[in-house]
Amino acid sequence: MKRIGMLTSGGDCQALNAAMRGVVKSLVNSKEDVEIYGFLNGYKGLIYGDFKMLTGRDFAGILTVGGTILGSSRTPFKTIKDPDENGLDKVEAMKQNYYKLRLDCIVILGGNGTHKTANLLRQEGLNIITLPKTIDNDLYGTDMTFGFQSAVDIATECIDCIHTTAASHSRVFIVEVMGHKVGYLTLNAGMAGGADIILIPEIPYDMDKIVEAIRQREANGSRFTIIAVAEGAISKEDAKLSKKEFAKKREKLSHPSVSYEVAAGIQERTGQEVRVTVPGHTQRGGSPCPYDRVFASRLGAEAGKLILEGEYGFMVGYRNREIVKVPLEDVAGKLKMLDPNATIIQEAKMLGISFGD
C-alpha cells in the first residue's frame, strides 16, 4: 500500500489538474494499492491537516479543466519558519501531519517559492517529489514548465486582437504580459503576436530607443505600433538602482505599472495616443492547451514511476526534449532568467523587433 499526499501551491495555472491526474492514473494502472490524500489550499492544508481522501474517480474528466481541484494559496517561504498567529510551528506541523497519515511521500506542484519549501521539507526528512508549474517558465532545472504554453496562447490572442483596433485608430498599443521577473512569456507571445517592440526584464530599455523605433515605423509607412511589455520590464536608469532605491522610487510613482510609465513616456515625447491593455490573470485561467495537457500528463506519469521505484527528493523536469529527474537541492532558490544573448533574441532582432536597447 502506497500512501501519497498531494498539494498545489502558489498561483494557479493551466494543467495542474492534468498533472495530478497523470500521477494518479500511472499509480492506479500499475495495480499498486494506493491511498491519495489531497491537501487543500496548498501548504496551508498540510500545516493545519486540512485534507480529503481521493480516489481515481476524483481525477476522471479533469484533463481539460483549468485551475486545481485541491485549491491553492501562497505560503511565503521567507515566513515559513515563523510561528503562525497562534504560535504554531508551521514546519513541525507539516511534519507531524505527514507522519500522522503515515505517508510514503508528498507530490508537490508549484513554482519557485513552492520548491524552496519543498526542499526544506526534504531536508527535514520527508519524501518529496515535485512537478514544475508556472506560466513564467522561470523555474531552474527544467527547460519548460506546464502552464507556460497555455499562457503564451492567451497572451498571443490578446495581441492578435489588438492589431485590428490599433490599425483602425493609428495608435500605439501596449499589451502588458505577465511573467514575474523574467521575459519568457512576453518574448514568446510578442513574437507570435507580431509585436513591433518587446520589453523584457533581462534587457533594460531606453525610452529614446523605443521612440526611435516608433518613428522609424512611421517613416516606413506603418500607421500603428504594438508593444509587448513584461510586467517586470525595467528602464536602464532604474536598472542601475539598488533594490531599496528602486522600491522607494516605485512607491512615489503615480503609474499603476511599468506599461503606464512607458505609455506616458511615449506620449510625452511623440504626442501620440497610447493605449494600454492588461490581460492580467486571464493568462493563468481557462483550459490548458493541448501541449500542456500532454506535457503535464507526461510529468505526472514520470512522478508516479518515481513513487513506485521509491526515488524521492527530485523534481520531474524537462531537458533537451526528455523528461528527467532533477535533485531538489539543485532547483530550490534559483531563478531561470532569459539570456539576453540567446539565439531567439538575436533572431527576433533580425525580424526587425526592437527591445528598446
List the chain pLDDT tens, one digit each, 357 residues: 899 999 999 989 999 999 999 999 999 999 889 999 999 999 999 999 999 999 989 999 999 999 999 999 999 999 999 999 999 999 999 999 999 999 999 999 999 999 999 999 999 999 999 999 999 999 999 999 999 999 999 999 999 999 888 888 778 999 999 998 999 999 999 999 999 999 999 999 999 999 999 999 988 988 899 999 999 999 998 888 887 877 777 777 777 889 999 999 999 998 888 999 999 999 999 999 999 999 999 999 999 999 999 999 999 999 999 999 999 999 999 999 999 999 999 999 999 999 999
The dihedral sign for the CA sequence 204, 208, 211, 216: negative
Confidence (pLDDT) at 124:
97
pLDDT reported for residue 271: 85
Please tell me the predicted confidence (pLDDT) of residue 241.
83
Q: Which residue in the list 33, 84, 89, 136 is annotated as catalytic?
A: 136
Domains in the chain with CATH codes: 2-147+288-330 (3.40.50.450), 149-284 (3.40.50.460)
- Any alpha helices (H) in 108-257, and if so which ranges? 112-123, 148-169, 184-192, 207-219, 236-239, 243-252
Residues 6+ apart with CB under 8 A from 118: 108, 110, 128, 130, 328, 332
Residue 47: how many other CB atoms lie within 10 Å: 22
User: In a 3-state reduction of DSSP, which class is residue 328?
Assistant: helix
Find cell 527535514 and name the residue.
Answer: 124
Strand partners, 37: 5, 53
Burial (CB count <10 Å: 0-12, 13-18, 19+), residue 102: exposed
Task: Give the largest CA-CA distance in the chain.
Answer: 71
Answer for the pair 147, 136: CB distance below 8 angstroms, yes or no.
no
Quick one: pLDDT at residue 247? Answer: 76
Q: Decide if 69 contacts 62 (C-beta within 8 A).
A: yes
Alpha-carbon distance of 239 to 356, in angstroms, equals 14
The answer to whether 89 is a known catalytic residue is no
CA distance 47 to 44: 5
**pLDDT for the residue numbered 244:** 80
